[in-house]
Amino acid sequence: MPNEQLSGMEQAFGALRQFTRARRASAEPLERCEFCSAGLSHEHPHLVELATRTIICACDPCALLFDNAATGKYKRVSRRALRLADFEMTDAQWDGLLIPINMAFFFRSSRENRVVALYPSPAGAVESLLPMEAWQEIEKSHLQLLQMKPDIEALLVNRVGHARGVAKAEYYIAPMDDCYRLVGEIRMHWKGLSGGAEVWTEIGRFFSELRARAEVVGGVRHA
């Protein structure tokens, strides 16, 4: 067989092998259940490991084992998202929480029996020392905060637009994995001292998606 024909066949088989490998790689799941190693779709359940606050990927059967778990090492993260339409917090109340930026989330830790305040940063989630008197003043005026599920739901606050005078502050009861996803987006896309345009685009996209799927609730204030 002529060398030219052999060379052409080798190139054809080489292209076919690359195509097959690409198809095989694309068919494999990007993530796997951290309990049973089953492949996961893009949308899949998450658990939170209570001791470390780590978000863990799980398949439906494994996650089902931790539905409504009151005790143990893990809890299944809630999927409900509520936008608190009439939630009000004054600038003085926000300043009293000692959060150094205008974005944070607050959740009740069953392990520590307290409310934990975290805010996103280029280095990840940073815990802020939460003055309980300041938190309790806000909590007693908003019934929804008393109904948050410990460990798996958080009050997610976005006051960036409010601080800049371009938008109203936003308040959500959000799943814990969404809160950490926001932290991850900021950590991944932050550039320089101010963050850069890319990170603010990603933050805007995150809240647009959350706003679109959140149930709007009102009538939660009381004296």
143 within domain boundaries: yes
56 within domain boundaries: no
Which of 54, 73, 74 is CA-nearest to residue 124? Answer: 54
Which of 85, 103, 98, 155 is CA-nearest to residue 132? Answer: 98
Neighbours of 47 (CB within 10 A): 25
How confident is the model at residue 89, as a pLDDT? Answer: 94
51 within domain boundaries: no
In terms of residue numbers, what domain contains 115?
79-217
The one-letter amino acid at 202: E
Residue 170 to residue 159: CA distance in whole angstroms: 6
Which of 57, 35, 36, 54 is CA-nearest to residue 45? Answer: 57
How confident is the model at residue 34, as a pLDDT? Answer: 95
Give me the number of domains the chain comprises: 1
Using a cut of 0.85, tell me whether the model's pTM lies above it.
no
How confident is the model at residue 218, as a pLDDT? Answer: 79
Residues 6+ apart with CB under 8 A from 131: 96, 97, 98
184 within domain boundaries: yes
How confident is the model at residue 1, as a pLDDT? Answer: 53
Per run of 10 residues, the mean pLDDT along the chain (length 223 residues) is 50 48 54 94 93 95 86 91 94 96 97 96 95 94 92 97 94 97 96 91 97 85 48
How confident is the model at residue 223, as a pLDDT? Answer: 45
CA-angle at 220, arms to 219 and 223, nearest 5° = 105
Are the C-beta atoms of 141 and 43 separated by less than 8 Å? no
How confident is the model at residue 176, as a pLDDT? Answer: 97
14 within domain boundaries: no
How confident is the model at residue 35, as a pLDDT? Answer: 94
2 within domain boundaries: no
Q: Burial of 110 by CB count in 10 Å (0-12 exposed, 13-18 middle, 19+ buried)?
A: middle
Residue 159 to residue 148: CA distance in whole angstroms: 20
